[in-house]
Amino acid sequence: MGFVVCNESFRKRFETFWFDDLLDKIINEGNTEEFYFVSATNQLAWNFKLSFAERYFSEQNKPLVNFTISNLEGLVKRVFEATKPKNVGKVLSDSYRFLIFKEAFDRAKLQFFRQANEQVSLYVIRWLSQIIFGLKEDGITIDNFEKEIQRVDERLVNLPKFLDTKSLFEEYQTILQESNLFDIVDAINYSSNWFNDYFEKEAQTNRKIHLPFFDRNKTFLFFGFYDFKIPEIRFIGSISRYENPIAIFLDFDAENGPLFGNYVELIENLKKYGLYAFEVENENAETNVNFLKKYLFNNLSGKTKPELAEKICICAVENRYKEAKQIAKLCKYLIAIKKYKPSEICITTKAPESYASLFREVFQEVGVPVNITERFRLNSSPLVLSILSALDVVAKGFRFKDIRKVLLSFYFRFLKKSEQGWQEEIDKENFLDVVTKMKGLGGEEFGGKEYWLRRFKTRLQVIDDRISFLKATPYPDQMELANLEKERKQVQKAKEDFEVLLNYFDFDSKEITVEQFYDIILNKIIKRFGVLKVLESVVENLLDSLQEYEKYDKIAKIEEVEKDSRALSKFFGLLEEFTLLTTIRYKDKKFSLKELLELFKVVIFEERFQISRKPSYGVTITTIEQTRGIPYKVMILCGAIDGDIPRKYSTEKFLGKELGKSEQRHFENERLEFFFFLTNNQKLFNQNERLTYIFYPKRDAKREFIPSPFLFSLFDLFPERKDEIFFDLTKPIVFENTDQMEWLNVIASNVERNLVSLNQEETQSSKQFYDDINSIYFKKNEVNYLLENKLTDETFQFFSGLTSKPISVTFLEDYNKCPYRFFVDRILRLERPPVEMELFLTNREKGEILHIIVSNFFKKLAEETYQNGNYEFIIDLGNKKYVPVKLQPEKKDEYFELISRITYDILQKFNTEISLFSIDTEEFISTEPGRIGLVQLWLNYELKRTKWGYYPCFFELSFGMNYQDSLSPVDIDLDGQNKISLRGKIDRIDVFKNGENFDLLIIDYKLNKSEVTTINDCLRGIAFQMPFYAIAFMKLFSEKGYDSPIVSLLYQIFKFRKDNKRKNEDSTFNYVKLFVNSESSIRLYFNIKKDEATKDDFLGWLEVTKLNALDILKKIKEKRDFPVKPLRSKNVCRYCQYKSICKIEVI
């Protein structure tokens, strides 16, 4: 059952009103040049042309020529180009239209949407633009705006909003008229008026009037539509007056108001323009399609049709990632087992942004080709972002954030002459590292490029002064000297590379025309920076290496290259439109580079681009609306959750009131989309041969999902078979009893093949085999077999080498924090994105600075003590002799002067030459009355602790490190059979000597208390640092002939809050105990009972830690087990740079 709406000419000329019958007639007669097909969407037009060409060739045995098809907008633009005044350009793109609206927003006198001096987001302005444009699409003009809005009985909800909306509408139209520009709605209205005026003029001649600019016999056939905007209806009405036949084919049942209410209103509106509406009856009124037309969403009578359920399957899955995985497995099954062509399968969704990247990944894994009709945002293209960042460098005064983006761009090459005379790239990594450490900001407010030249010069002078000072001292620190010399070379190189950059960025930023702006982008960036050469080399390399890839990998690689070329092509198209129209509007007016760039960014903000479609290639993945009328044999709907299907109705917040039937029309359109999804191949659907699969995820990382209410409306049509077609894939399924779910048994990837082979080694029976499959399906996410193919000998050697060389405790702790991140970072060794520069000193930098300050302070005092010979004992570990430092409270002023000099010397390395640096400095050494800095506070408490009798003796004691005075790595026996070689650096060890016995405090510095670990953490295998440092030092100590010492482990906190409730003495306030031996002299300060923590307890705890370490080493070396199981996901994952790889947010 359906309707055809046509003019008198069509009714007289054609005998049939069935669209398919008419197509057969056109193909049989071969007169395609007489017809102009108008489709609802571009996707439908593209597919229709392909299928029509195949049918035409099959019937006529010759290729299709003189065939015309477009969407309605394409027809309007064609007409407008033929009828427009000479001084008018083409119809505005959506992007330039948004720029016009942004200008209207800036000019309009607004009271609600923009407060004084408020910067309004482009997203808000875009939303307002859509509201105004929507009003125009609804046929509302400035003249009838207030009347149309107030036509509904309710009073205006918000008068200021309404007045601002009216002001925006007026300003937008004023700019269009002043600039002689037309958006698509104005173009439709202009064309409609032109056709009506032409008809009235020609009607006076009493001749038959045919549409100008088209053949006299041209027939217009509209198909795939279920709604027209008011201006579109006027346009159709204006051309329907002519002798050219016009017909609109609509497929609906007037009895089903909840589903087809829009159609009834649409036909009534079309009939107002003299068009006729005819109901077309199907020969078989009892078809599946007609049943859905009558009763879907309208089943109050309880009508059922159980056979509809035969080819429908609905599946619930855990999350979107697993949903994509199961859909990929299903497609593999349909193609490999059921012999469907990939192009006969379509996956559709209402949330393409949530699925596109997931489907690309999982389909590549299972080896199934896909044709994703994704529209990418132009302002997210890496190539386009690189070009915009290059413009920002000059426009915004050489800000570091912009320079950084440019240097990290894959598309730019900045060359200089090497010492040997050939061209080489500047050292980007060195430049970014140097400037990040210098905390350089740049920007117009600091002087632009002159700021950088001054910063490099100042930094080099600071380094030279420090080198001169050290060389003048009797015993200079050789390590510091070496580091300074190295830094000087790095800074000098960065300075020279920056001067090279200045030559590349030599374009004017003050007074330029739009044509000069175009020239800067084309010649001074794209050509000079080597963009085209980079893209050419990528293509050449791809062509040279294509034979190395599998078929579907080749397509993926080609698509990657095509994305850049399509983005650049779209970018040039917008740039040309921007240059042309802005020049027409402003003539020879000059702008600053910053002004033009901000305007152009607005244009790009709205634009999207798409890679080319691939005819008959791959599984199609697209939105529901793009599948309308395309007869796929298999339809798969994903993301069928409430809020997406149907989309939530958003009340009109910006307009100031809700418009009439807007909510009703919204839900009618949403229901229609679901109906068209179910019936898009009516022939197969009526024969119960069209396969329909619907998936929905139960949750994501943030919330639980509710199934789409449309599913329950579908269940109402066959309630007795609901349990037969619904499957919860989060629960075990008995495969033998579920024929519809046979696809779950498919081995879809190498991962699953390996898992099956592992299980089959132990079991060979058929029943056991399927049990193995079942087990794999529900447990494969618990065991992470990342290595899909058999490992090579070289790979085995690599894993063995990971644990055979000296390792740090960080190696073990990194695995425990997240095994997968460990795998990506330490085994795959993926390059991490450079760290973003922080304006203030980061907590990590503060901690490192405090480490250096207190260590240098003690080292200086230890050096003086050794030279004076004023020490109570000396410890020789082989690399050097260590003496204790005995602080004397009466020398507080002397100590403060020393540590202040050390602090200022170290902080000078971080001086950013901006006022914020003084804030960081004050945090260490405060000059403000009544305030105490971190260094001052540390010194005060250190002097209070002298009564403990423990003297600092070892500072940054290193073993297995690449330092001049480092000790050798320490070999540690883990269980009598396995050992590790350990390297590390102990912050500090304090010593109390009682006769020949030693009582040691191994101390680790922490900035904040939140960073410390507990004994329980060590026993659980979470923390290894302190127990292994204790093991290492005890072994070093005993190897030099010293008796086994008493060992306690403490954390010293630099930033702490004094707890007045604690009864301990002040000397313990900035300490946190990890383990205090009950035999230690300091046990009383920490309220440790005599038998609470004995030496045997300590040694037993260390043994457990060693076994935990052994377990990790076995997982790495033997099991190669790297699951996505972060220990504390909330903390570990928050700032992880690999979240986009592991997909933890969706699994």
Are 356 and 411 part of one and the same domain? no
Q: Give me 763's structure tokens.
A: 């079991």
pLDDT attached to residue 38: 96
DSSP of 1002-1036, one letter per residue?
EEEEEEEGGG---HHHHHTTS--HHHHHHHHHHHH
Return d(Cα 233, Cα 253) in angstroms, integer.
21
HSE on the CB side for 226, CA within 13 Å?
23
Q: Report the distance separating Cα 66 and Cα 71, nearest Å.
A: 17
**Residue 721, pLDDT above cutoff 60:** yes
Give the residue-averaged pLDDT of 288-312. 83
According to DSSP, the residues that pair with 955 across neighbouring strands are 988
Structure tokens at 1013: 């670990």
Q: How far is C-alpha 1074 from the chain's CA centre?
A: 41
Residues 596 and 704 in one domain: no
Q: Specify whether 884 is located in the same domain as 738.
A: no
The pLDDT value recorded for residue 1058 is 57
| Whether residue 386 is found in the same domain as residue 423 | no
Which of 28-42, 156-170, 292-306, 478-492 is most confident? 28-42
Best mean pLDDT range from 286-290, 371-375, 403-407: 403-407
Say how many C-beta atoms besides its own lie within 10 A of residue 994's C-beta.
10
> pLDDT at position 1137, please?
75
pTM: 0.75
Please name the residue that has the structure tokens 């990506």. Answer: 824
| CA 442 centroid distance within chain | 28
Asked whether residue 500 falls in the same domain as residue 638, the answer is: no
- Per-residue pLDDT averaged across 694-707, rounded? 88
pLDDT in tens, 225-246: 888 999 999 999 999 999 999 9
Encoded tokens for 113: 């949407």
Residues 69 and 218 in one domain: yes
pLDDT of residue 591: 92
Residue type at 821?
Answer: R
Cβ–Cβ < 8 Å for 411, 386: yes
Q: Is residue 814 part of a domain?
A: no
Lowest mean pLDDT of 430-444, 785-799, 1053-1067, name the range: 785-799
| pLDDT confidence of residue 694 | 95
Token pair listed for 684? 């197969």
Instruction: Tell me the per-residue pLDDT of 91-126, one tens digit each, with 9 for 90 and over.
Output: 898 899 999 999 999 899 888 888 767 778 888 888
Question: Mind spelling out the 3-state secondary structure of 292-322?
Answer: HHHHCCCCCCCCCCHHHHHHEEEEEECCHHH
Run of H or E residues at 425: strand 423-425
42 is a domain residue: yes
Q: How far apart are CA 496 and CA 774, in angstroms?
A: 63
Name the least confident of 504-508, 580-584, 754-758: 754-758
pLDDT value at position 521? 94
491 and 459 Cβ atoms separated by less than 8 Å: yes
Q: From 1030, 1023, 1035, 1024, select the one nearest 967 (Cα to Cα).
A: 1035
Q: Determine the pLDDT at residue 738.
A: 54
CB 971 within 8 A of CB 807: no
Task: Please state the rounded mean pLDDT for residues 1022-1035.
Answer: 93
Assign 793 to helix, strand or coil.
helix
Task: State the Cα torsion 374-379-383-388 to the nearest 10°.
Answer: 170
Q: Which domain holds residue 14?
A: 2-85+187-281
- CATH number, domain of 337, equals 3.40.50.300
The answer as to whether 60 is a domain residue is: yes
Q: Which residues contact 772 (CB under 8 A, 6 or more apart)?
A: 756, 759, 760, 763
| Strand ranges inside 286-401, DSSP E | 312-317, 345-349, 370-372, 376-377
Q: What is the DSSP letter of 668?
A: H
CA–CA gap between residue 112 and residue 985 (Å, rounded): 61
For the stretch 849-895, pLDDT in tens is 899 899 999 999 998 999 888 888 999 988 788 999 999 999 999 99
Pair 864, 938 in one domain:
yes
Instruction: State pLDDT tens for residues 578-635.
Output: 998 898 888 888 999 999 999 999 999 878 888 877 777 789 998 888 888 788 999 9
pLDDT tens for each residue of 1135-1144: 677 776 776 6
In a domain, 445, yes or no: yes
Q: Tell whether 812 is covered by a domain.
A: no
Q: Does 367 lie in the same domain as 416?
A: no
Q: What pLDDT score was predicted for residue 1061?
A: 52
**CB of 694 within 8 A of CB of 640?**
yes
Pairing status of strand 1046-1055 against strand 997-1008 = parallel
- In the block, tokens 């039937």 appear at 661
**Beta-bridge mates of residue 71:** 39
Q: Is residue 1146 part of a domain?
A: no
Residue 386 domain-assigned (yes or no):
yes
| Cα distance between residue 754 and residue 68, in whole Å | 53
Residue 158 CB partners (closer than 8 Å, separation 6+): 112, 656, 657
- Whether the bond between 833 and the residue before it is cis, its omega within 30 degrees of 0, is no
Whether 366 and 640 have beta carbons less than 8 Å apart is answered as no
Is the CB of residue 523 less than 8 Å from the CB of residue 375? no
Specify the pLDDT at position 804.
77
Residue 216 shares a structural domain with residue 312? no
Average pLDDT over residues 651-670: 63
**Contact call for residues 1127 and 813 (beta carbons, < 8 A):** no
Please tell me the predicted confidence (pLDDT) of residue 763: 43
* C-alpha angle 35-237-240 in degrees, rounded to nearest 5: 40
Give 478: exposed, middle or buried? Use CB within 10 Å, 0-12, 13-18, 19+: exposed
Q: Name the region of 136 (left: φ>0; alpha: ψ -120 to 50; beta: rest).
A: alpha
The terminus-to-terminus CA distance of the chain in angstroms comes to: 45
Overall domain count for the chain? 7
**Residues 591, 498: one domain?**
no
The verdict on residue 141 lying in a domain is yes
The amino acid sitting at 290 is N
Residue 837's SS3 state is coil
Cα atoms found within 13 Å of the Cα of residue 118, Cβ hemisphere only: 13
| Residue where one domain finishes, among candidates 158, 181, 204 | 181
Considering the domain architecture, whether residues 227 and 162 belong to the same structural domain is answered as no
pLDDT at 776: 43
The answer, yes or no, to whether the previous bond of 646 is cis (omega within 30 of 0) is: yes
Averaged pLDDT of the chain? 83
Sign, CA dihedral 315-316-318-319, equals positive
Among 414-428, 521-535, 990-1004, whose mean pLDDT is lowest? Answer: 414-428
Confidence band, pLDDT 50/70/90 cuts, at residue 780 = very low
689 and 657: one domain? yes
